[in-house]
Chains A and B, each alone.
Chain A
Amino acid sequence: MNCKRVRENLVNSLAAGESVPSGELALHIRSCAGCRFFYETESNRLRSIDTGLQSMVNQDIPTSLLPSFRARLSQHVEPRRSWFPAWSIAAGVAGVAAVVVLSFTLSRPRQPLESHPSFPLKSSAAAIQNSNPPPALPTGRKFDAVPSTATHRRIRSSSPVPDGAPASSEVIVLAEEGRAWAEFVAKIPQDKTVALALTRPAATLPDPPIEIALLRIEQMELKPLEPEPNN
């Protein structure tokens, strides 16, 4: 084993914490003065490292450490723990946001019934003139398909109205009036006068002229103010 190899092994043995080299290393140190000097120097260096580290970290604990820590601990305010975990708060906020968005969507003002392009009475009036047989009453299933959460129900009137009506005609009615409306539409062809009266515009009568008469005061008596009696 040459000196270079021996010195590497010596450093390794010192770093591993072996106090005295053994075997071939010990024999070489005994015979080689240079390696013996190297070993002594390195072991002294390692000893100084250990001593330096020990003196660095094993200093006396300052007497103010614990009192200062106790003081800081007493000043520390315990953070108030929430009754609900964070995820439940987030879920609640998301739920409220969803409800707000849903209610906003549903409460948007819809187009008035008369101005709706597919107002069914126009089409049903045309259908009455064709005098087709009355269609059957819509079954409950058809209405069940309409979402019940809606404040107004959109009822497809293609089935209740006669065949001549356009398939896309629909009317917006209140949810609770849906069935009554469907019955009404189904009965329209039976009573043409009612249907036509409904579809015709109301007669416009001129308003009578308004007369404005002047206010007349026949007699007027003037009296002086009397002083109040003193108590």
Chain B
Amino acid sequence: MQELVLTQPGKLMEASAAREASETAARGELEQLLIDSAPLAYRVALGVLRNPAEAEDVSQEALLRAYRRFHLLRDAHRFRSWLVRIAFRLALDRSRSLRRRADRETLWARPELRPPPQSAEQLAAQSQFQERLGRALEELPDGQRLVMLLTAMQGHSVDETAAILGVPAGTVKSRLFKARKRLMEKLR
């Protein structure tokens, strides 16, 4: 049975004001956490999409989704790992939809999709290699691809990558080994 508690109106207002203040503080902390993690989300999206404008849009979407669904996250310490996964999934979805759209449209109908002008042989070779590398990355399994991107990102070590993903360091090492080997074979 519910107890009936008589509370003075002043105290009730104080309690609600305190609750509002704590909620505002928590929201502020979450927003700061999102802003701090924004570069990570952007780089993950960029690694998948290889298009800065699309990566920016996807990373913003990922941050907004993390903000909306933060209450579903059980362990707040895994926020970065959770955000990385959200950004990675959204970027994959965007990449697939872009590919479908690109298949529908002709390459020359959209000038932004045209390859950049080749001014020098080295630039051409570099561009071609980047293109091949991007395609080879797309063919990797999602887990290996994400590990490759995170280790390349700002020189993250195996342990740091493992901490971001919330997996053991051994898992990161084995994924990294398989991914490198596969990339070397594909780019041979």
Could you tell me which A residues sit within 8 Å of B by CB distance? 11-12, 14-17, 42, 45-46, 48-50, 52-59, 61-62, 64-66, 68-70, 72-73, 76, 79
Known A65-B59, A65-B60; judge A58-B67 contact (CB<8 A). no
Chain B residues near A42: list those with CB within 8 A.
Answer: 184
CB distance from A213 to the nearest CB of B (A): 75
Q: Which residue of B lies closest to A48 (CB)?
A: B129
* Shortest beta-carbon distance from A229 to chain B in Å: 68
How far is A50 from B151 in the complex, measured between Cα atoms in Å? 9
B residues in contact with A12, CB < 8 Å? 177, 181
Shortest 8 CB-CB contacts between residues of A and residues of B: A53-B152, A15-B180, A15-B181, A57-B47, A52-B133, A57-B43, A57-B153, A54-B152
The answer to whether B177 touches A65, judged by C-beta atoms less than 8 angstroms apart, is: no
- Cβ contact within 8 Å between B50 and A45: no
User: From DSSP, what is the main secondary structure of chain B's interface residues?
Assistant: helix
Asked if B22 is at the interface of the complex by the 8 Å CB criterion, the answer is no
Q: Find chain B residues with CB under 8 A from A79 CB.
A: 68
Are the CB atoms of B47 and A56 closer together than 8 Å?
yes
Q: A15-B184, A17-B177, A57-B46 are in contact. List 4 more A-B contacts (CB 8 A).
A: A15-B180, A53-B148, A61-B39, A65-B42
- A11 cross-chain contacts in B, Cβ below 8 A: 181, 184
Are A59 and B64 in contact, CB atoms less than 8 angstroms apart? no
Cβ proximity bits B168-188 to A, threshold 8 Å, 1 near / 0 not? 000000001110110110011
- For the complex, what is the distance from the CA of A49 to the CA of B183, rounded to whole Å? 8
Q: With a CB–CB cut-off of 8 A, which chain B residues contact A61?
A: 38-39, 42-43
Please tell me if B7 contacts chain A, counting CB pairs below 8 Å: no
CB<8 Å pairs between A and B, sample of 29: A11-B184, A12-B177, A14-B184, A15-B178, A16-B177, A42-B184, A49-B133, A49-B183, A52-B130, A53-B47, A53-B133, A53-B149, A54-B152, A56-B46, A56-B50, A56-B130, A56-B134, A57-B43, A57-B152, A58-B152, A58-B154, A59-B52, A64-B56, A65-B38, A65-B39, A69-B38, A69-B63, A70-B35, A76-B68
For A71, give the chain B residue with the smallest CB separation. Answer: B60
Contact residues in B for A14 (Cβ distance below 8 Å): 180, 184
B34 interfacial contact with A, CB 8 Å: yes
Are A65 and B152 within 8 A (Cβ)? no
From B27, which residue of chain A is reached at the shortest CB distance?
A: A78
The residues of A that contact B68 with a CB separation of less than 8 Å are 76, 79
Contacts of A16 in B (CB 8 A): 177
The residue that A69 contacts in the complex, of B34, B176, B178, B181, with Cβ under 8 A, is B34
Q: In chain B, what residue has the closest Cβ to A81? A: B71
* Nearest CB on A from B88, distance (A): 12
Among A49, A58, A64, chain B packs the most CB atoms within 10 A around the CB of A49
Taking the closest CB of chain A, its distance from the CB of B142, in whole angstroms, is: 16
> Chain A: which residue is nearest B188 at the CB level?
A45
Contacting residues, chain B, for A66 (C-beta < 8 A) = 35, 38
A45 with B46: in contact, given A56-B152, A61-B39, A66-B35 (CB under 8 Å)?
no
Chain A residue numbers with a CB within 8 Å of B60 are 65, 68-69, 72
Contact of B31 with A by CB under 8 A: yes
CB distance from B35 to the nearest CB of A (A): 6
User: Which residues of A are found within 8 Å of B42, using beta-carbon distances?
Assistant: 61-62, 65
- For B61-92 the 0/1 string (1 means CB < 8 A from A) is 00110011000000000000000000000000
Q: Shortest CB–CB separation between residue A67 and chain B, in angstroms?
A: 10
Bound-state Cα–Cα, A66 to B63, Å: 10
Residue of A nearest to B180 (CB): A15
B43 touches A68 (CB 8 A): no
Per the bound structure, the CA–CA distance linking A53 and B152 in Å amounts to 6
